[in-house]
Amino acid sequence: MDATRSCHAEASIGLRLAPEVAWDVVMDWERQSRWMLFTRVWGTENDGVGVGGGVAARTSVGGVGFTDDMVITHWDPPRECTVKHLGKVVRGTGTFAIEPRALGGESVGSTFTWSEDVVPPLGRLGAFAWPVVRPAFEVMMRISLRRLVKEAGA
């Protein structure tokens, strides 16, 4: 695998929230700190709103961590937000997508999908290790999404 090629991870969850409400919950950067594992998140430029807005996330375990600075490259409320990771540890893009969910023609909320297309650190070693790292990373994403459901009462 080419060390500059991105590696994909993705997790989705159903929310009993209308897409507009789900968007407000998911895109509240500071609130993400309550459901995203090991991470504190906050808006920077333009409070993290709109294309060009900035977001920062401090991920740490046991005092060891890194800060991930991001810029919003796509902003389409209440459907999709894509950020570009600007750091040395995490590079690539992350996308939060919300789609309406219906059952028998009746609205039953929305589906939230969090995806990451990252260039792993450590060059070829990181790319080589991705097939082993990805399942653990996606488990952490799914745990975070379950915490989101509890946080949002959804």
All structural domains of the chain? 7-28+72-152 (3.30.530.20)
Dump pLDDT digits (tens) for 53-108.
999 999 999 889 999 999 999 999 999 999 999 988 889 999 999 999 987 777 78
Q: Which residue has the higher pLDDT, 74 or 119?
A: 74
Distance CA 98, CA 91 (A): 23
* Residue 84 or 5, more confident: 84
In angstroms, the CA 68 to CA 94 distance is: 12
Beta bridge partners of 7: 118
Question: In whole angstroms, what is the distance from residue 154 CA to residue 140 CA?
Answer: 19
Q: Tell me the β-bridge partners of 93.
A: 84, 117
pLDDT at 75: 98
pLDDT in tens, 27-40: 999 999 999 999 99
